[in-house]
Amino acid sequence: MNKLQLFKKMDKSHITFFAIAVVLFWLKTYAAYQIEFNLGIDNTLQKFLLLINPLSSALFFFGLALLFKKRFKLVLIVTNFFLSFLLYANIAYYRFFNDFITVPVLMQTKTNAGQLGDSALSLMSPLDIFYFTDFFVLIALALTAFKQITVTSKNTFKIVILFAITTFLFNLGLAEKDRPQLLTRSFDRNYLVKYLGAYNFTIYDAIQNIRSSSQRALADSSDVTDVENYRKANYAEPNPDYFGKAKGMNVIYISMESLQTFMIDYKMPDGQEVTPFLNSLTRDKNTFYFKNFFHQTGQGKTSDAEFLMENSLYPMAQGAVFVNKAQNTYQAMPAILKGQGYSSAVFHGNYKTFWNRNVIYKAFGYDQFFDAEYYSMTDENTKNYGLKDKPFFTESMPMLKSLKQPFYTKMITLSNHFPFEMDPEDTDFPAGDFGDTVVDQYFQSSHYMDHALEQFFNDLKASGLYENTVVVMYGDHYGISENHNDAMAQVLGVEEITPALNAKLQRVPLFIHVPGVDGGIQEQFGGEVDVRPTVLHLLGIDTKDYLEFGSDLLSKNHRNWALFRNGDFVSPEVVQVKGKCYGTETGELLENSDTCKSIEEKVNSELQMSDEVVYKDLLRFYQPDGYKAINPNDYEYLGPKMNKGSKASTSN
């Protein structure tokens, strides 16, 4: 074989190797879409788009390897590995969160590294090696059949990139036909992945993240006007029957990790109640129990719930405010109550850097932060995420009693966290029997948390604080995701979990105990954003001048619906999920519902207005009457020296 013949063979070989890499990667990605993701494919066009959307990404990213002539194989294989890792990371993330990884989430992972071990491992399977099969095949081919190949011309690169761009534009055109304004209106990442693919979504997300970072720099005080007008038009006046009834009382918020409302009054087959203490509070004369209360968290989960409850603003569509917008100006509950003579503190059996709390709590105006350094973090007292609930409440009481009254505090529980596995010595309560380990263990961990809460209430009574303290307990976010719907159908005794029923499963308990005030079971619909105005009005502080988006749950003018961060919503009459409208009670699909259209317009406006405030940091341009701004630099959470025998996190 002469040199010319060898050159021609080598020239064709690199195209063959490239084609094999593209096809294997394309088919693997499509298989992952079908196996791992629930993208809501509704028609033939969407099926076609799902099939072709990995192609443009594979052509583009692998095509870049053609620029590296002699190192073409190495660059292509390395590119394959990184794209495969991104796909698998999305798969593992989706298995619990039913969501896709964004650039801000990667920042959160860096912040929270080292504390996610058990949860991450529980989402993996030995069969997942399949998602790296093509990577190993390419290595084998590169060392054998395609050992002697190189790229000699850039013409192939130009043709491939042109084909990649053409394929993407064709894909985008069809997607826009099925979902107009896809890139400008969608709050739901499922739509973007369904229509454009996981890899193109990552590029889109990176661009959006850069754009959101620049919004603050371009904002000015004039941007506040629209938000202020919207707020005034949607303000719900306090109910005179309750306004000021808790004036001057202490306030304790308790975040009930991952607790969903279906657990309230749920009984095991032997008749045992899962949450007997919380069940008793639904009948307590001084407790408001909101049975149609919904979490509204995004990718920030527990931190998003905190943000909603204390700022009455919605979390970010991508990432978490606690990490990505910690330097913003806020007018949070601790700062508002500081003007009323309140001291403030947070109690949390994890380390202060988790979710960047040691930074953003200063922006909220918290005086003290009792983190893991204040607790006995021994092996028997801790789980992966920190201190177990019972020792947490026990050790918190002396610190709580030491606070200057009146105080505003927040206590964050940890035990009822995915994957809900309990140490045998901590429970004798039976697990569920629904063929799903995560769901089965959820009953045990929820029961443990219920016992810990009862213990805390008893300690609060013994301390003398109970009769002068408002206690607000809320489920922060869902515990059981859609990936466990088969088991959940058994739990609820239904044939299947329909979209409308799944929306209703996003209910989390809200209890507001107010000494001396008649409470009762509340039927109205609402969400976490509504809690701040409700509590402030109970304390006698009118919120009409604050830029917030909550509606007082006890107001006679309370709006009776709750939105989700992705733009879905729920009301007593209708539920909208992924653009489709259903009857709340019947679950039947409703065509052309005027009620859905009316609420959808309000939901889109609400999210847009809140995003204006958060992304542009508009509160730096606005100060309500009577509010005294705080300086985050005035706060420092140094903590005591670590207790002997305590278990510190290596990541912190």
Catalytic residues: 302
- Tokens standing for 72? 């073409």
- Tokens standing for 355? 């979710």
- 8 Å CB contact between 114 and 384: no
- Quickly list DSSP for 516-550: TS--EEEEEEEEGGGHHHHHHHHTT---TTS----
- Tokens standing for 429? 């309560």
* Cα separation values, 376 from 113, 391, 392, 645, Å: 22, 8, 9, 8
Strands 580-583 and 574-577: antiparallel
Burial class (CB in 10 A: 0-12, 13-18, 19+), 81: middle
Q: How many helices (H) and strands (E) does the chain have?
A: 22, 15
Q: For tokens 């007018």, what's the residue? A: 331
Q: What are phi and psi of 310, to 5 degrees?
A: -105, -15
Q: For tokens 């604080």, what's the residue? A: 465
Task: State the DSSP H helix or E strand holding residue 344, giving kind and residue range, or none if neither.
Answer: strand 343-348
From CA 485, how far away is CA 492, in angstroms rounded?
Answer: 10
Q: What are phi and psi of 532, to 5 degrees?
A: -60, -55
Provide the 8-state DSSP code for 273.
B
Q: For tokens 């290595």, what's the residue? A: 139
Provide the 8-state DSSP code for 493.
T
> Closest Cα to residue 305, out of 256, 353, 350?
256
From CA 369, how far away is CA 162, in angstroms rounded?
Answer: 56
From CA 110, how far away is CA 486, in angstroms rounded?
Answer: 33
Tally Cβ neighbours within 10 Å of residue 650: 7
| Contacts for 567-573: CB closer than 8 Å, 24+ residues apart | 567/186, 567/187, 567/188, 567/600, 567/603, 567/604, 567/607, 568/188, 568/503, 569/599, 569/600, 569/603, 570/294, 570/503, 570/504, 570/506, 570/525, 571/525, 571/595, 571/599, 572/292, 572/525
CA atoms within 13 A on the CB side of 246: 31
Is 301 in a helix, a strand, or coil?
coil
From CA 517, how far away is CA 242, in angstroms rounded?
Answer: 8
From CA 183, how far away is CA 188, in angstroms rounded?
Answer: 10
From CA 344, how far away is CA 626, in angstroms rounded?
Answer: 19
- Alpha helix (H) ranges present in 528-582? 531-538
- 8 Å CB contact between 537 and 554: yes
- Tokens standing for 634? 């005035």
From CA 108, how far away is CA 599, in angstroms rounded?
Answer: 32
